Structure 1
Amino acid sequence: MLLDIPKTERVDFNGGYGVIKVDTFNQRIKIVAFEGDIAFLLEKIEIIAKKVNAGKIFYIGGEADIKVFKKNNFIMEAKVYSFLKGEPGYFLSKFLKQERKMSLYVPEEEEVLIRSRDYIKDNYEYIIYDKYEIRDACEEDAEQLARLYKSVFETYPSPMNNGEYIKYAMKNHVYFKVITYNNRIISSASADMDPENYNAEMTDCATEVEHRGQGLMGRLILELEKEMRRKNYNVFYSTARSISAGMNIIFAKHNYEYGGKLVNHCHICGGFENMNIWVKVL
């Protein structure tokens, strides 16, 4: 049983309803959709949040949603162009705990961002050596992928150390590419597809330590983008740890634009961290 998968719930209130995802591992609640007065829905959500110890509520809405959410103490953390059927998507968040909205490494994260932007105009060299093979992942790779993610991340926002979860993801619009060395998976990344809005999140990026620094992840991102284009997806985005230069630089090199910072959004590498959003619109 996959207990760490966020649970989707319907919340009814006077005059409307909402659909939410309760993510106990990341201690956050996402509003997926709603009809009616958002203030009444939030009253219900905050009761649920106390029960599950959630410190953050967020919603990805259009420009028309900004005013009413700000009136209910949400702030805009990021903007992704063409995210919602060609219209911009705004990441709106409300923090329920003071410590959840505190950023501990602001100067260091700003340095990472400055360094990353220096690479935006660089031409990315897609080096691949004869000793490596790039291919699509399949369900038979699930346990090997789980071992890779477990070795790379102390904690991860989704249960990628669980082979059954990876199989579940593959059956639910998540497309994986891997690189093998001597027939063993040493690097992987995925595209999490939203078939309704035709955007895809480049995510689940992991490479064994001894194979880093050879451009492997950059090549995986390129191959994922090619496949998404074939599937008619034209908006790509990713969230990268704000404190870690590596993935931020990779997305800057691939001509992704910085879209904002999600504060303490994910439990990764042992604790809550800020995540930078990068976006590319074709």
Structure 2
Amino acid sequence: MVSNQSFSVTALMEKEDFHIEPISRRIKVYELPDEISESYMKGLHAVAEEMDCDKIIVYVQTGSDAETTVKDFSFQQEAEIKGFFNGKDATIYASFLDQSRNLPDPENVISDVKAMNVAECKKRKLQEGYSMIWGTEEHAEEMAAFYASVFDQYPTPIHDPEYIVQMMRDDVYFSLIYHEGELVSACSADLFTDFNAAEFTDCATLSSQRGKGLLSIQYPMLEKKMRELGVHTMFSYTRAISMGMNIVAAQQGFSYGGCMVQNSTIATGLEDMNIWYKAL
């Protein structure tokens, strides 16, 4: 016999705001049910164990009853995104099923970035020989090969062209930069339609093209599109050990929101990710 609580967890898994992400061994819940019981939390942890996920991440509205409840269940605060929930602030909490994962990377560059007092950069222009376009489904094969050449590991199967096509159909907007016919840089805005928020993500540039500000050129185009779609807040997960990406976030007017410990499988393996956010 299936209990009511088991049914509720199963139903939750089918919701769009419940994400099981096996590559990074994590579960993300963007919206918890109105009533969060002990049996519900046990069920959530059971799902994580069954799916071989040892980190559960929940987004809750700051100051809400849900925030009090997740604290009572020993979730720890990792970050915040102001304005995430249709203009209302979100606090991000995590529960680690394996405490060996709850070890921050001492190589996080955020202290150095803060010490720089990075100023917002003026809008840059592409140099001669470069062009910027919106990615379409026709670019999926080329994009998949491009991402595979940049990342040995990535939190999503972005090396798969079919996955990229599905992303585009699910409100993910890609910008692409070409140099003399070669795709050299790309990034995206992943639209969270229920919350009027969008994630600045999937940022990649060929090593031979780095240092030219190509991501800083693409971001304003993505931001303009998100504004047109009524997005309240942009946010980004940046690799905590990447000086360049954290500086880009600061230069584009983002505010630092905290660090997600051993959060995403990318490049070297499980890495800490710094959260940045910006009100539009």
Distance 2:178 2:51 in 1: 40
In the TM superposition, residue 259 of structure 1 has moved relative to its aligned partner by 0.4
- Following TM superposition, by how much is the alpha carbon of 1:181 offset from its aligned partner in structure 2, in angstroms? 1.3
- The correspondence of residues 38-77 of structure 1 with structure 2, limited to 5 A, is 38-62=37-61, 63-64=63-64, 65-77=66-78
How high is the TM-score relative to the length of structure 1? 0.90
For the 8 Å contact 1:119–1:253, the answer to whether it is kept is no
Q: Which runs of 5+ in 2 are unaligned?
A: none
Paired with 1:43 and 1:203, the residues of 2 have a C-alpha distance of 32
| Bigger proportion of residues as strand | 1
Give the secondary structure class of the aligned counterpart of 1:178: strand
Aligned to 2:81: 80
Matching residue's letter, 1:246: G
Q: 2:111 is matched with which residue?
A: 114
In the alignment, what sits opposite 1:7? none
Match of 1:225 in 2: 223
Moved more, 234-243 or 36-45: 36-45
Q: What does residue 92 of structure 1 align with?
A: 93
Q: How many residues align?
A: 268
| Mean CA deviation greater in 63-72 or 41-50 | 41-50
CA RMSD of aligned residues (A): 1.8
Match of 1:150 in 2: 148
**1:120-269 mapped onto 2 (5 Å cutoff):** 120-124=118-122, 126-269=124-267
Q: Deviations over 1:157-179 (max 9, x none)?
A: 01111100000000001000000
Deviations 1:61-101 (A, max 9, x none): 11212111011010111111111011101111101101110
User: Is the 8 Å Cα contact of residues 36 and 69 (structure 2) preserved in structure 1?
Assistant: no
- Give the secondary structure class of the aligned counterpart of 2:111: helix
Residue 16 of structure 1 deviates from its aligned partner by 5.2
Match of 1:70, SS? helix
Cα distance in 1 between the residues matched to 2:126 and 2:150: 22
SS in 2 for 1:128: coil
User: What is the distance in 1 between the residues matched to 2:182 and 2:82?
Assistant: 38
Contact 2:6–2:43 under 8 Å retained in 1: no
Structure 1 residues 16 and 51: CA distance shift in structure 2, 3 A = closer
What is the identity percentage for the equivalent residue pairs of Structure 1 and Structure 2? 30
Q: Distance in 2 between matches of 1:69 and 1:89?
A: 13
SS of 2:33 mapped into structure 1: strand
Against the structure 1 CA distance between its residues 30 and 123, is the aligned structure 2 distance closer, same or farther, given a 3 Å change threshold?
closer
CA distance in 1, matches of 2:248, 2:20: 31
Task: Give 1:270 deviation, angstroms.
Answer: 3.4
Cα separation, 2, equivalents of 1:180 and 1:163: 18
Q: Matched residue of 1:148: which SS?
A: helix
Alpha-carbon distance in structure 1 between the residues aligned to 2:144 and 2:230: 29
Q: Matches of 2:26 and 2:87 in 1, distance apart? A: 27
Q: Post-superposition shift, 1:265?
A: 0.9
> How far off its partner does 1:35 sit?
4.1
Contact 1:127 1:215 survives alignment (8 Å): no
Instruction: Give 1:21 deviation, angstroms.
Output: 2.5
Contact 1:202–1:236 (Cα < 8 Å) also in 2: yes
State the secondary structure of the residue aligned to 1:34: coil
Distance apart, 1:113 and its partner CA: 1.2
